[in-house]
Homo-oligomer: A and B are copies of this chain.
Amino acid sequence: MGVATVGVIGVGYMGEPMARNLMRRGLRVLVHSRTAAKAERLIAEGAQWRASPAALASEADVVVSVVCDSPDVEAVYLGPAGVCSTLRPGTICIDMSTVSPQTARTVAEAVAARGGAFLDAPVSGGKPGAEAGTLTIMVGGAEADLTRARPVLEALGKNIVHCGPTGSGQLTKLCNQILCGLNLLAVSEAVVFAREVGLDPAVMLQAVSTGAAGSWAVDNLGPRMLKRDFAPMFMIDLQHKDLRIALTAAEQHKVPLPGTALVAQLLVAGKAAGEGREGTQAMVKTIERLAGMPTG
């Protein structure tokens, strides 16, 4: 594919480093974001601002969207100045937001009606993965479209997996978030338990990390809990939003997820404590409050 121009819609804390990685590959990058200020650094580095998704889409060979929730994606593609109002036949649209599978299907149909192709391609790896270009990318859509999109995706991530037809990327991401949520709860409970029974929690984490209890969460969220470093790799608000989507999809398919439902409620408790914009590792504070510990 002779990709000349990639349009990136949404250049927040995930989209910005992703757009930067595309520029590093020598691609021409157009950017649009609801909050123009977020694009300033990228523009200083050579990206070109476009005033709307429509303006951006009219020039792009590939559109990459990285926004927040289902209504945002629908606005970006289907709204008055949305991508679908100007999309040229043959354009590939890659939505890398985490949204409902139904939104992916709805937008895919609208894009197809205009002669374009759509991939739902949510990611895992957080801001560090976005910066390093090592994201895991879970792709739903036609195999042929994924083949065409690979040069762009390979600038962004390492483990690019074709999960099935449209929506499958989102569904796989929901599995990812189910796992992340319970693995996070696991570390939170283990760390609080360790401290309360008098263990050195750092030694505990080191001991358990190499065996059957090991996880990315043990290695990455555990130490941050101990350092009281609650800066977001991934925010509680977003983890909660993703589990809400997962639980809704699960209900529709009549799959009970008792553990995930519990995690979702504990994330609500974190939001209630004003920690929604902290990293998910801040869940440890919810368990600490339950245990009557100071969380300061």
Interface of A with B (CB < 8 Å)? 101, 124-126, 129, 135-136, 138, 158-159, 161-164, 168, 171-172, 174-183, 185-187, 189-190, 192-194, 196-200, 203-204, 206-208, 210-218, 220, 233-234, 240, 244, 246, 249-251, 253-266, 268-269, 271-274, 286-287, 289-293
Contacts and interface: CB of A to CB of B under 8 A. Distances in A.
In the complex, the count of this chain's copies comes to: 4
A175 B208 contact: yes
A183 B180 contact: no
A213 B292 contact: no
14 contacts: A124-B208, A163-B199, A163-B207, A171-B194, A172-B199, A174-B193, A175-B208, A212-B233, A250-B268, A255-B272, A256-B265, A256-B268, A272-B290, A290-B290
Contacts of A261: 261-262, 264-265
Given A193-B257, A262-B258, A175 B204 contact: yes
A189 B199 contact: no
A62 B135 CA distance: 50
Contact of A258 (B171, B174, B253, B265): B265
Q: Closest 7 interchain pairs by CB? A: A272-B292, A124-B211, A215-B215, A182-B186, A179-B213, A161-B207, A136-B211
Given A182-B189, A186-B178, A207 B254 contact: no
A287 to B, nearest CB: 8
Contacts of A203: 161-164, 172
A175 B258 CA distance: 21
A65 to B, nearest CB: 20
Contacts of A286: 290
Contact of A292 (B162, B177, B251, B254): B254
Given A124-B212, A168-B199, A189-B178, A204 B163 contact: yes
Contact of A216 (B129, B177, B214): B214
B180 A213 contact: yes
A7 to B, nearest CB: 26
Nearest to A258: B265
B254 A212 contact: no
B193 A125 contact: no
B272 A291 contact: yes
Contact of A254 (B194, B199, B271, B289): B271
B268 A213 contact: no
Given A179-B190, A261-B265, A211 B129 contact: yes
Given A136-B207, A164-B200, A179-B186, A212 B193 contact: no
Most B CB contacts (10 A, CB to CB) among A164, A208, A291 go to A208
